[in-house]
Amino acid sequence: MVYHIPALLNESIDGLNIQPDGYYVDVTFGGGGHSMEILKRLKKGRLIAFDQDEDARLNLPENKNFLFLNQNFRFLKNNLLFNNIKTIDGLIADLGVSFHQFDEPERGFTFRHDSPLDMRMNKGGHITAATLLNTLDESSLAGIFYNYGELSNSRRIAKEIVIARTAKPLTSVNDIIEAIGKLAPFRKEHKFYAKVFQALRISVNHEIEYLKEMLEQALSVLNAGGRLVIITYHSLEDRLVKNFMNTGNFEGEKVKDFYGNVETPFRLISRKGITPGDKEIEINNRARSARLRIAEKI
């Protein structure tokens, strides 16, 4: 089984502008696709890779220039300092869920299998999707579906879940589909469930909060001229990354100096973002929603 096919591989590696003696970080190691390409371009340089999923260890290369850290990327700066690395020349993040995570039914990332409602990227975590569905109040659940799934009927979804769990706990994929199935729009059921599961996954793994923490730390450890390379897969992530690269903050608020010039910590390399071509999508359909953004620290 293929662990993961990285989207926009050549474009993202080119975007890093790798120097043979530079220090680089891959904060989403996964199947190692991006890391392997970075290592090919290093001589005296070093690559530090992060992944909170223990299963990523299955893909580790044997390379003297490589260091793997089984950590969430929110601990980027502390882990670099622990390893006597104060600054880096580039950082790459592929924010998509790996094929491996989607295709292992017991992980509960997809609604295509009747599996436990887990969705933890770090299997050592204590909070699962089932935990949220069975313990949060109706208002909190509605907030998850509205904020992370951008579902306009989030309150109705939350209400149906609360009603269903009074009869029995929601523990499997089929349980939640039975609970909210009547709310799925006709012929758009796939998109509806995808948004529901996206919202739960983001909440379980604190994806938005941790992404913000990582980006702020990346800015602080990047050398001048260092590259930030991020691949996103949905609008919530992409908006944050776009705003951060444009303005240095997540709200996209432009800060101007005394003379009216916009102050920003980055120079944009890809102003509109890069998306896969038809040929790549034909080979790897899961890349269809990928968007690559590249910025250089000033």
* Domain span holding position 126: 122-205
What percent of the chain is modeled with pLDDT above 90?
87
Least Cα distance to 22 among 88, 111, 92 occurs for: 88
Residue 100 has a pLDDT of 55
86 and 212 together in one domain = yes
Which residue, 98, 101, 71, 99, is CA-closest to 83?
A: 71
Residue 211 class from Cβ within 10 Å (0-12 exposed, 13-18 middle, 19+ buried)?
A: buried
Residue 144 is which amino acid?
Answer: I
**Rounded Cα distance, 182 and 113, in Å:** 19
1, pLDDT greater than 50: no
In a domain, 112, yes or no: no
Residue 147 lies in a domain: yes
- The answer to whether residues 128 and 118 touch, using CB atoms and an 8 Å cutoff, is yes
Q: For 255-292, what is the HEC assignment?
A: EECCCCCEECCEEECCCCCECCCHHHHHHCHHHCCCEE
Mean pLDDT to the nearest integer, 199-227: 98
| Domain contains 199 | yes
For residue 264, pLDDT over 50 is answered with yes
Asked whether residue 74 falls in the same domain as residue 94, the answer is yes
Q: Which residues, other chains included, contact 265 with Cβ-Cβ below 8 Å and sequence gap of 6+?
A: 219, 248, 297, 298
Residues 30 and 79 in one domain: yes
87 and 17 assigned to the same domain: yes
pLDDT of amino acid 108: 66
Res. 210: pLDDT tops 70 = yes
- Using one digit for the tens of pLDDT, what is the confidence trace for 7-65? 999 999 999 999 999 999 999 999 999 999 999 999 999 999 999 988 899 999 999 99
**pLDDT value at position 286?**
86
Residue 177 lies in a domain: yes
pLDDT in tens, 86-96: 999 999 999 98
- Which is higher by pLDDT, 297 or 107? 297
| Residue where a domain terminates, one of 142, 176, 205 | 205
Q: What is the mean pLDDT of residues 69-92?
A: 98
Which tens digit of pLDDT belongs to each residue from 99-149?
Answer: 556 567 667 678 878 899 999 998 888 999 999 999 999 999 999 999 999
The reported pLDDT for the residue numbered 205 is 95
**Residue 186 located in a structural domain:** yes
Report if residue 42 sits inside a domain.
yes
Do 225 and 91 fall into the same domain?
yes
Q: Compare 107 and 169 and report the one with higher pLDDT.
A: 169
Average pLDDT of the residues in 181-206: 96
Q: Does residue 165 belong to any structural domain of this protein? A: yes
Check whether residue 142 and residue 172 sit in a common domain: yes
The mean pLDDT value of the chain amounts to 94
- Domain endpoint, select from 156, 180, 205: 205
* Whether residue 98 has pLDDT greater than 80: no
Instruction: Indicate if 286 and 271 belong to the same structural domain.
Output: yes
Tokens of 121: 């990227």
CATH of the domain at 126: 1.10.150.170
Residues 157, 283 share a domain = no
User: Looking at the structure, do residues 158 and 212 belong to the same domain, yes or no?
Assistant: no
192 and 243 assigned to the same domain: no
Mean pLDDT of all residues in 145-163: 98
Residues 91 and 24 in one domain: yes
From 160, 178, 205, give the residue that closes a domain: 205
Do residues 22 and 145 both lie within one domain?
A: no
- The verdict on residue 162 lying in a domain is yes
Contact 172, 116 (CB under 8 A): yes
Average pLDDT in the 192-211 region? 96
Give the residue-averaged pLDDT of 261-268: 94
**Three-state SS annotation for the chain:** CCCCCCCCHHHHHHHHCCCCCCEEEECCCCCCHHHHHHHHCCCCCEEEEECCCHHHHHHCCCCCCEEEECCCHHHHHHHHHHCCCCCEEEEEEECCCCHHHHHCHHHCCCCCCCCECCCCCCCCCCCCHHHHHHHCCHHHHHHHHHHHHCCCCHHHHHHHHHHHHHHCCCCEHHHHHHHHHHHCCCCCHHHHHHHHHHHHHHHHHCHHHHHHHHHHHHHHHEEEEEEEEEEECCHHHHHHHHHHHHHCCCCCCCEECCCCCEECCEEECCCCCECCCHHHHHHCHHHCCCEEEEEEEC
Q: What is the pLDDT of residue 185?
A: 96
- Total domains, the chain: 2
Q: Are 123 and 109 in contact (CB under 8 A)?
A: no
pLDDT at 85 over 80: yes
Q: Would you state the pLDDT for residue 101?
A: 60
The domain that holds 289 is classified in CATH as: 3.40.50.150
Answer whether residue 201 shows pLDDT above 80: yes
